[in-house]
Amino acid sequence: MDQDQAEFLMALNRVHDGLALARGSARARRGAAVPATGIGGPVEHVLGVLRGITPTEALADWHHVTRFAEVDGAPGPLRFGTARVGLGAGRCADLPVVLPLLGSGHVVINPPDPSWHGTLAHECAAEVSAIVDNLVLRALASTPPRSLLVVGDRFMPAFLDRDDVYEQRLAFDIDPTGPGQMDNLLARLNQDVERIRRTGRDHWRLLILSDLGSVLSAQHMEELAWLLRAGPECGLHAILIDTPVPPGVVAETVHVSPRRIRATTTGPLLDVRPDGVPIPGSPAMSALDERLSRGGVPATGLLPEHWWTESTKDGLVAAVGDVGGAVERLRLGDSPPHALIGGPSGSGKTNFIYALLIGLATRYSPDEVEFHLLDFKESVSFAAFAPSAADPSWLPHARLIGVNINQDREFGLAMLRHLAEQLRIRSAAVKRHGVKDIAGLREADPAGRWPRVVAVVDEFQVLLADRDAVTEEAATLLEDLARRGRSFGIHLVLSSQDVSGIEALWGRPALVAQLTLRVALPGATRVLADDNEAALALPRYHAIVNHQSGVRGHDRRVRIPHFDDAVLAGTQLQLWDRRRVDAPEPSVFDGDHVPELLAAADYRALRASPAGERVALLGRTFDVADRSAQVVLNGAPGRNIAVIGTRPDEVHGVLSAATASLAKQCTVADARFTVVSGGSDSIAADVRHLLAAHGHRPDFVERQDIPAFLSGLAEPASPGPRHYVVFAGVDAAHSVLRQPCANGSTGHELLRQILADAPETGVHLLAWWRGVHRLKQDLSDFGTQFDDQIGIWVALDVQGSELSGLPGADLITWHPRPRRGLWFDRAAHSRPRPLVPFAPVRSGEPR
């Protein structure tokens, strides 16, 4: 309240006091002095002051209210009506009538005579409504957006009953006579007041209750009395209609009888006319419309005027929302270096991340900041930032996008490894230039490209969920990135549905301590400091942003606008249009996508190769560089591939991809292919056609011809071109393989011999078994090491424990899941790795 307003109120008080005293009112008896100038003087003075000032929204005539308040603080008394005061000599003046409410006490609207109790609300409903409507509208007009919560019964103002009210919490209807309603309401408000006493005021609460005399039990009455006594300190105020006021409660009273309204503030003899609510479309109601439906800075209002003009040398800044209409920015840099975002499902975490990403992407060019985005939810939050058939645009700052990751924690790990590699490169460059951090590096190496990296992991707790090697490595990498990332411009943004995510961090204090930017969405627990409950009373679409690890006293209560599809798509298109012509598309890992061999970059890059360097591609790895799982089939022992699994489609994918990739690197003159059908005619037939499509003339061995084929293959022969034998269903051919062949050996024995001689004879077996047990039986002979026979294996739907005995497979944890496999190459790996099998490569596809 400025000085003019204060002077005006003082003068108004003197008028009211003087009138009251002159007429012997109760107020006068409270000690007011008669103004020395009589009543006319002060009234003239008030009118003079009124002419000279622009009253606030709390006091002005509704005709003069064109906007609602934006700033915080107690609004002072609220005007609710007008009184006509006679000035003598036939003159009179209209004076505003005010009631102290927010920041002061309560208002009671009662009949003039206590014996009328119980009938007032019905007899004078129109007058009562007009007073309540005026007070609520004034309260809304004189407090900042979203800072007022109105809880009301049938006297809830009609202007709050609208669909587009920005948050349900603004207006909360109750029926005190409904079963349990009063219990719930009082319990909830009492809890709020207790919490506010501990943590400080969050927003105003205005309670409208009528006709409670008959419905309140003695216990309700006691609870209400406590609430009304403790409430004003905590921003809770009530308008009580026709309800007895418990003792000790500070309240101004308005007496209403038909056609006559008086207030304790004006003295009992001054009749008051309620101001009435302005008509729809009037400036005041337009201001109300704007307040209720918009309520803050829209998403587009947060975008900077000039895009891509700022430098991230000293850190990152992003506009994410507004506080009372003023744009609010968050910072990431030296301090705080990393962020933790929490909130229950649906509380707006993803929307907040969009606000952050769009805020950064519009302010800084892709040379200043780039994004790695990973979402462990069963959703596609970041898919829109990648190009698609429907929309070829992408977010130029996005380098890596993971969608539909679900259970593929290995991909999260791959991203962390990639970031660790970036950290290593940056730390080496920093050392080389003799500087200490990214800011120094950018100065010392102005021609270098050293953007800050923001790595977002939504639902990051999934990454740390199991007690296994993935969690172990992920936690170690995260800790290292959190500790050293700040110096090298790598910033983590971890988001989670509170408790579960935060619990995953327990026992890792070094990591938690680095996540000093905390963002708590409504209802979030544990994200802020333990004694900071600010997020519990947060209205929808708000966030507590706290740059000091969530410590109380550093909260910013930010309203977050909606980054809907239109805003996201529109902004992305403009960003995309600005990209450099050679800007690379982001790498995308989509867990639902079935990779195609023919589309894989490393398949397309295959050329005719010498026999010892040919590679077989098996599937897609969990790797940020979109690499295929590939093995070299050279002349070393054990360069044979066992595919183990029962799902024909996935087996088909691995076998056909391996065969097609080999076929691409050789011609009919320098390689030989044989397809053996042990039990799966369809896979064998498809592989045969595939080879033909690649210009080869494979031999085809039917089941009954297997013994003869193996006998021939086991014969000593002079070395020829490499011979790739694709055996579709070794265990299905069991009955044939166990029979003695012409030379007396069984098929199994011949197979073992062929594998043992393979380095010299140039044979490579690509074979399918349905289960590990049969594979071991078929190949183990008096303790033969599998390594010398099968140095490469791909296990599809097989439990990790069953694999023990195969090379590299002892003591591994692996739970099979659809369209995922585990592969091992003893020449290249120390332990098995996951892969996504390619889709079957069908016969007839072009070379």
Closest CB 605 distance from ligand ATP, rounded Å: 39
| Least gap, CB of 559 to ligand ATP (angstroms) | 8
Residue with tokens 């909360």: 172
E strand residue ranges, 89-125 = 91-99, 106-110
Instruction: Tell me whether the omega of the peptide bond preceding residue 610 falls within 30 degrees of 0, making it cis.
Output: no
Nearest approach, Cβ of residue 507 and ligand ATP (Å): 24
Compare residues 127 and 459 and give the one whose CB is closer to ligand ATP: 459
Tell me how far apart the alpha carbons of residues 490 and 454 are, in angstroms, rounded to a whole number: 6
Q: How far is the CB of 458 from ligand ATP (least distance, A)?
A: 7
According to DSSP, the residues that pair with 572 across neighbouring strands are none
Q: How far is the CB of 351 from ligand ATP (least distance, A)?
A: 3
What is the smallest separation between the CB atom of 560 and ligand ATP, expressed in angstroms? 4
Nearest residue to 512 (alpha-carbon basis) of 491, 483, 470: 483
CB-based contacts of 785, cutoff 8 Å, min separation 6: none
Determine contact, residues 138/287, Cβ cutoff 8 Å.
Answer: no
**C-beta of 231 vs 295, nearer to ligand ATP:** 295
Nearest to 205 by CA among 185, 221, 178, 176: 185
Angle between helices 772-779 and 747-761 (to 10 degrees): 80
Please give the annotated binding residues for ATP, written as ranges: 343-350
Closer residue to ligand ATP in complex, CB, 562/776:
562
Q: Which is closer to ligand ATP, CB of 159 or CB of 541?
A: 541
Rank residues 270 and 560 by Cβ distance to ligand ATP and give the closer one.
560
Distance, CA of 831 to CA of 835 (rounded, Å): 13
Sign of the dihedral through C-alpha 178, 180, 186, 190 = negative
**CA separation for the pair 135, 237 (Å, rounded):** 12
Q: CB of residue 141 vs ligand ATP: minimum separation in angstroms?
A: 23
- Positions that interact with ligand ATP (CB under 6 A): 343, 345-351, 377, 497, 541, 560-562
Q: How far is the CB of 693 from ligand ATP (least distance, A)?
A: 45
In angstroms, give the least distance from the CB of 670 to ligand ATP. Answer: 55
Task: Give the neighbor-by-neighbor strand order of the sheet with 272-274.
Answer: 91-99, 78-88, 272-274
Answer whether 671's CB lies under 8 Å from 696's CB: yes
Length, in residues, of the chain? 847
Closest approach, Cβ 542 to ligand ATP, in A, equals: 8
Q: Whose Cβ is closer to ligand ATP: residue 27's or residue 540's?
A: 540
Report the nearest approach of ligand ATP to the CB of residue 360 (Å): 17
**Of the two residues 565 and 715, which places its CB atom closer to ligand ATP in the complex?**
565
Nearer to ligand ATP, 540 or 620 (CB): 540
In terms of CB distance, is 293 or 682 closer to ligand ATP?
293
Please identify, using beta-carbon distances, which residue of 500 and 745 lies nearer to ligand ATP.
500
**DSSP helix/strand/coil, 146:** coil
Residues flagged as binding site: 343-350
Residue 352 or residue 727: which is nearer to ligand ATP going by CB? 352
177: region left, alpha or beta (phi > 0 left; psi from -120 to 50 alpha): alpha
- Yes or no: say if 387 and 579 are a contact pair by the CB < 8 Å rule: no
State how far the Cα of 166 lies from the Cα of 145, in Å rounded to an integer: 10
What is the Cβ-side half-sphere exposure of residue 552, based on CA atoms within 13 angstroms?
A: 11
The rounded distance, in Å, linking the Cα atoms of 625 and 622 is: 9
Buried residues in 781-820 as b, exposed as e (16+ CB within 10 A): eeeeebebbbbbbbbbbbebebbeebbbbeebebebeebb
Q: Which two tokens stand for residue 152?
A: 């009301």
In 3D space, the residue among 128, 139, 136 whose CA is nearest the CA of residue 103 turns out to be 139
How far apart CA 620 and CA 818 sit, in angstroms, is 14
